[in-house]
Amino acid sequence: MKLSSVLSPRLLANLFIAINAVLVNKIRSLLTALGIIFGVAAVIAMLAIGNGAQQEILNQIKLVGVNNIVIKPIIEQKEEKVQEQAGQKDKKKFSPGLTIRDVRSIESIVPGLSTISPEIILETHVIRNGTRRSAKLVGVETSYFDIYSFTLQEGQFFNDEQKKIGSPVCVIGYGIKTKFFPTENPLGKNIKIGSNWLTIIGVLAERKVSSASISKLGIRDFNMDVYAPLQTILIRYKDRDKITGEAIRLAAMQSRGMINGSDETDVKKEEKKNYNQLDRLVIQVSETGKLQSTAEIISRLLQRKHYEMIDYEIEIPELLLKQQQRTNDIFNYVLGAIAGISLLVGGIGIMNIMLASVLERIKEIGLRLAIGAQKTDIVQQFLFEAMMISVSGGIIGVIFGVSIAYGVSTLAHIPTLITFSSIILSFGVAASVGLIFGIAPARRAAQQDPITSLRYE
């Protein structure tokens, strides 16, 4: 459809006059548009940075799970000396640590729980066909994969029978597959994890985790983990809840004062050892509003079961991330306000230049009125000029803002997300600014008296 068929000849003529006036004064028009250019660029860049931060937080929430409470043991405070009364002998507080018994108590006592997932994490190594690599062996129940939204690339998760009897099976991460099975299907193959051979029954889909998420949330590289049933770890690898003969011997020698140099070293190592049966306990609450109160109930329950020893820490990752999100939102509002001020300043600049242009072109206005132009023609001409300056500034600003966003993402490694809505918003505001701030100069130009204007020097 041609432009001439949409616009009337008079309106079209006014548009061409406005285009010619802008092109004749290129430098002035560009300087006038600078405020709009920088304002639009700032809006797009700031929204891209804010959206990128928002997306990263949402991705982190998915990684740590939704409505989760995370309980971790504090190894350093597992045993500590306390003074009971003046003159009495120091005694050690004892706590059984974080165990399966805690899991069962929480399940039976605390209401409103959706899922509970105990974890045992062992530092080990993977060996196959002469290739050896360090990895983490994670003992979990099937609920673990639901909480963290893991998906299978192939195979299956543990079934009830395998979990119950502690079968020698495992599910491997995507990185383990690419490292040890680059050209073959790993399902049904045996792989040596530590001192035991496990049969691979499933492969997890690749899970992309940013370095920022790893450092901020303490998240492992899931792709290099090997997952086995919890009972398999306790039966075939290590159950830290069981008392060993060596631990009894050292405790007996220490109580009798029969510790020599080498035994003292062994005792110190034993005291620093992790006695917690579980390394991590993730509890999913059915309602977000009950996260804090549920965490307090669990804390009191564990305190009683651990004989008043606070040898655990409770975290609510989602609340921490949402607090971070609120902080980011406030920061984005401030940046948006600054960018909005830039657009406002740009609009004021357009109005000032257009008012100055009216004074410069009084004779031209008078001549157009004298030869038959109407006041609406003059208004349209100056409105078109203001709109052209703001729209062209908006287009340049969009290109500039997108370039800044990509530059920040590439050079500063800050995630950015440019959305179509942010471009439309900034461009629409730029066009509106030109229209609004162009009205006053246009009306002033139209109110000029033709005879006085023709005599103006």
pLDDT tens sequence across 99-155: 999 999 998 999 888 889 999 999 999 998 888 999 999 999 988 888 888 889 999
Per-residue pLDDT tens over the stretch 351-392: 777 777 776 777 777 777 777 777 788 788 778 888 888 888
Alpha helices in 158-207 (DSSP H): 160-165, 174-180
* CA pair distance 108, 102, nearest whole angstrom: 10
Q: Give 334's strand partners.
A: none
19 contact partners, CB below 8 Å, separation of at least 6:
384, 388
Closest CA to 152 of 198, 225, 209, 202: 202
* CA pair distance 42, 343, nearest whole angstrom: 9
Per-residue pLDDT tens over the stretch 62-83: 666 667 888 988 875 444 433 4
User: What's the token pair of residue 72?
Assistant: 């971790």
Alpha helices in 25-127 (DSSP H): 26-64, 100-109
Segment 154-158 long-range contacts (CB within 8 Å, at least 24 positions apart): 154/185, 154/187, 154/202, 154/203, 155/187, 155/200, 155/201, 155/202, 155/203, 156/201, 156/202, 157/201, 157/202, 158/201, 158/229
pLDDT value at 413 more than 90: no
pLDDT at 450: 64
pLDDT at 321: 61
pLDDT value at 454 more than 60: no
CB 147 within 8 A of CB 68: yes
* CA pair distance 34, 331, nearest whole angstrom: 25
User: What's the token pair of residue 170?
Assistant: 């495992």
* CA pair distance 65, 115, nearest whole angstrom: 11
Rank 83-97, 173-187, 341-355 by mean pLDDT and report only the highest. 173-187
